């Protein structure tokens, strides 16, 4: 499928000049050492993420700038300056010190997106702990696996989730304290191991000297989304902040006057790298919305806070598309100037939709929990080729390797997407899985597990996860291509394509489709969708079978779980479903 490129804007006409003005030149001149010099560092020590995102601003005019604009799910609004966060995070670091938390010990959070979550994560980094944010919609098994694997010593949670934690306490011998944040002051009686956040914070001091961390000390661990199997704990070090800082500036194009909104929850890497560290290390004001997805709420957040830069995910964009254009018309979204997407392949149709409906194109970018920061991206000053992830970030070398991950493939050829090791935010291990970690490297290359190709202009095109690629009659077909064609059909909201065994072709393609509101499944609609796909796709890539589902199985971070579609289709065990959405 070929789409006309969306032409880059004429820089002269832009009221805000992009931070990245000349990709080729900046790529040549870019040095990670220069980025390090723009950051502060601890006195006599290395980097500490908390110091770079909050403390260093206290010495500057940013001290009284609004850092956090919080919109609660019960309609509350609160504002916090960098100085407010400085004091609160110092207090929480003192609280942890008082509980005997030492450098390198794990402090986990399991709570909603309230200001306390941000205070606790940053305060714990100051205390030298390794933080582990858990998504508040996780059930007991997901929480148990992660707390057990990481041997977390302290957990911060909220009354609503305590029951889940107590169900699994018997399996968590390393957990010493549970801190209960009760911001809405619900009646609450403490149980075993529990202490009250508010009481501890009331008596904690505002001053704290950040624990001396080195660049290479562990700072944060994130479990992967579990799309392809059991989630792995990717551990990152303090110097990762160099990556967050640089990419927030050059890819998300953050400027001092921006109001930025990242919709991801800090339980996933996007919600910390770009929902905390990237924007705040650049001194940017950001919105946090506690509530979940709803087209009306989301648009009203943009309108109310006059959001200028918005970072979201394909699954949300598809839901906004499904909600329709009439909802968009109800809101004034004119403040938006730059919009980006990550997490899954962004179907070309979504880029064209946003251009038509919002007057702006979504800029897709690619990275993983493991890479810690954006690696491949579309930039404000380049043409967008709808369906492409864009080009490597300034300090990053990406390549397509052959089947054995040895030789680089020429442009146009599909293969394994690999990155040259050595960028600062790269993960340093999979927690307790060092062998698995090592297996992801071959020579100088980190093998991403995704398949892609690069075109003559150096743009990268996602084909599929290595595990999801379909082998039909000796040809490899990526599900993304099939799904993107299907969702162009007016009735189709979402699609997931898998390979099913076939005696002749080895595999043929089966697509699962969920329909937009107002459409009902029928044999006729199936035929119509198949015919539609035939016009868009090569014969081999056309789905042989279509099945309608009310919704597709997804991870809680919104990724289509093709492995589950396949297991269910073939009657095989479902494997790890701890991140499966309800």
| C-beta separation of 105 from 129 below 8 A | yes
Nearer to ligand ATP, 101 or 400 (CB): 400
Partner in contact with 389, chosen from Mg ion, ligand ATP, none, beta carbon below 5 to 8 Å by kind:
ligand ATP
Q: Of residues 361, 369, 416, 578, which one binds ligand ATP by CB under 6 A?
A: 369
Residue 224, interface with ligand ATP (CB under 6 A)? yes
Measured CA to CA, the distance from residue 536 to residue 404 in angstroms comes to: 32
Could you tell me the strand order of the sheet in which 429-430 lies? Answer: 194-196, 177-180, 154-157, 106-110, 130-134, 218-223, 233-237, 429-430
Closest distance between ligand ATP and the C-beta of residue 478, in Å? 10
368 scored as a contact of ligand ATP (CB under 6 A)? yes
Q: CA 168, CA 188: separation in Å to the nearest integer? A: 20
Smallest gap, in angstroms, from Cβ of residue 342 to Mg ion? 13
Please, which residue, 19 or 224, has the CB nearer to Mg ion? 224
Q: Binders of ligand ATP: how many residues, by CB under 6 A?
A: 25
Q: Can you tell me the distance from the alpha carbon of 408 to that of 401, in angstroms, rounded to the nearest whole number?
A: 4
Minimal distance, residue 227 CB to Mg ion, in Å: 6
Contact of residue 344 among Mg ion, ligand ATP, none (CB under 5-8 Å per partner type): ligand ATP
462 is a contact residue toward ligand ATP (CB under 6 A): yes
Q: In the complex with Mg ion, which residue's Cβ is closer, 224 or 341? A: 224
Tokens of 416: 């394994």
3-state secondary structure of 506: strand
User: Which residue number, 315 or 448, has a Cβ lying nearer to ligand ATP?
Assistant: 448
> In whole angstroms, what is the distance from residue 275 CA to residue 263 CA?
8
Tell me which of 253, 349, 364, 481 binds ligand ATP, using CB under 6 A: 364
246 binds, among ligand ATP, Mg ion, none (CB under 5 to 8 A by kind): none
Taking CB under 6 A as the criterion, the residue among 344, 481, 483, 494 binding ligand ATP is 344
User: At closest approach, how far in Å is the CB of 448 from Mg ion?
Assistant: 8
Q: How far is the CB of 73 from Mg ion (least distance, A)?
A: 30
301 binds, among Mg ion, ligand ATP, none (CB under 5 to 8 A by kind): none
- From the list Mg ion, ligand ATP, none, which binds 343 (C-beta under 5 to 8 Å, kind-based)? ligand ATP
User: Which CA distances in Å does 290 have to 77, 112, 294?
Assistant: 10, 7, 12
Q: Kindly list the distances between the CA atom of residue 385 and the CA atoms of 25, 305, 351, in Å, as whole numbers in the listed order.
A: 21, 31, 9
Write the DSSP assignment of 392-453 as a string of letters: E-TT--EEEE-TTS-SBPPTT-EEEEEEES--TT---EETT-HHHHHHTEETTEEEEEEEEE
Region binding ligand ATP by CB under 6 A among candidate stretches 97-105, 200-208, 218-226, 378-386: 218-226
Q: Measured between alpha carbons, how far is 419 from 398 in angstroms, rounded to an integer?
A: 4
How far from 121 is each of 26, 53, 110, 312, CA to CA, in Å? 33, 12, 11, 22
The residues of the shown chain that bind ligand ATP, judged by CB under 6 A, are: 224-229, 231, 342-346, 364-366, 368-369, 389, 448-450, 462, 465, 557, 559
């Amino acid at each position: 499928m070929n789409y006309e490129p969306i032409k880059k804007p004429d820089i002269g006409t832009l009221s805000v000049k992009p931070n990245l003005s000349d990709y080729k030149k900046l790529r040549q001149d870019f040095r990670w050492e220069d980025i390090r010099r723009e950051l502060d560092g601890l006195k006599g020590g290395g980097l500490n993420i908390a110091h770079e995102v909050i403390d260093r601003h206290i010495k500057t005019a940013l001290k009284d700038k609004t850092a956090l604009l919080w919109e609660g799910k019960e309609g509350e609004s609160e504002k916090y300056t960098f100085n407010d966060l400085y004091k609160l995070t110092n207090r929480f670091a003192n609280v942890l010190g008082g509980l005997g938390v030492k450098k390198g010990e794990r402090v986990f959070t399991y709570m909603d997106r309230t200001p306390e979550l941000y205070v606790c994560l940053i305060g714990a980094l100051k205390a030298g702990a390794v933080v582990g944010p858990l998504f508040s919609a996780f059930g007991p098994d997901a929480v148990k696996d992660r707390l057990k694997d990481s041997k977390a010593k302290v957990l911060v949670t909220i009354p609503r989730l305590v029951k889940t934690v107590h169900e699994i306490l018997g399996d968590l011998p390393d957990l010493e304290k549970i801190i209960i944040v009760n911001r809405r002051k619900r009646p609450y009686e403490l149980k075993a191991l529990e202490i009250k956040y508010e009481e501890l914070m009331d008596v904690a001091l505002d001053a704290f000297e950040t624990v001396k961390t080195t660049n290479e000390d562990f700072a944060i661990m994130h479990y992967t989304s579990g799309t392809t199997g059991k989630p792995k704990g990717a551990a990152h070090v303090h110097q990762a902040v160099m990556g967050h800082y640089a990419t927030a500036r050059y890819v998300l194009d953050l400027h001092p006057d921006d109001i930025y909104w990242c919709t991801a929850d800090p339980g996933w890497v996007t919600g910390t790298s770009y929902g905390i560290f990237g924007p705040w290390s650049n001194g940017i004001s950001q919105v946090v919305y506690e509530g979940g997805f709803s087209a009306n709420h989301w648009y009203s957040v943009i309108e109310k806070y006059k959001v200028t830069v918005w970072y979201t995910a394909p699954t949300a964009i598809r839901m906004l598309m499904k909600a329709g254009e009439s909802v968009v018309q109800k809101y004034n979204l004119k403040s938006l100037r730059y919009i980006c997407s990550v997490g899954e392949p962004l179907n070309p149709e979504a880029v064209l939709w946003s251009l038509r409906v919002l007057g702006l194109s979504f800029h897709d970018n690619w990275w993983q929990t493991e890479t810690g920061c954006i690696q491949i991206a579309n930039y404000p000053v380049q043409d967008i080729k709808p369906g492409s992830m864009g080009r490597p970030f300034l300090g990053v070398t990406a390549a397509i390797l052959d089947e054995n991950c040895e030789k680089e493939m020429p442009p146009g050829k599909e293969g394994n997407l690999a990155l040259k090791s050595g960028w600062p935010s790269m993960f340093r291990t999979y927690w307790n899985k060092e062998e698995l970690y090592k297996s992801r490297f071959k020579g100088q290359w980190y093998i991403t597990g995704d398949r892609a190709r690069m075109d003559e202009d150096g743009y990268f095109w996602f084909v599929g996860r290595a595990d999801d690629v379909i082998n039909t009659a000796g040809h490899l077909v990526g599900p993304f291509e099939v799904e993107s064609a299907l969702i162009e059909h007016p009735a189709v909201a979402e699609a997931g394509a898998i390979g099913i065994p076939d005696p002749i072709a080895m595999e043929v393609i089966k697509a699962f489709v969920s329909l937009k509101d107002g459409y009902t499944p029928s044999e006729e609609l199936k035929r119509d969708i198949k015919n539609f796909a035939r016009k868009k796709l090569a014969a081999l890539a056309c789905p042989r079978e279509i099945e309608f589902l009310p919704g597709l199985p997804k991870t809680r971070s919104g990724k289509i779980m093709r492995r589950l579609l396949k297991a269910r289709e073939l009657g095989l065990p479902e494997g790890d479903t701890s991140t499966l959405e309800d």
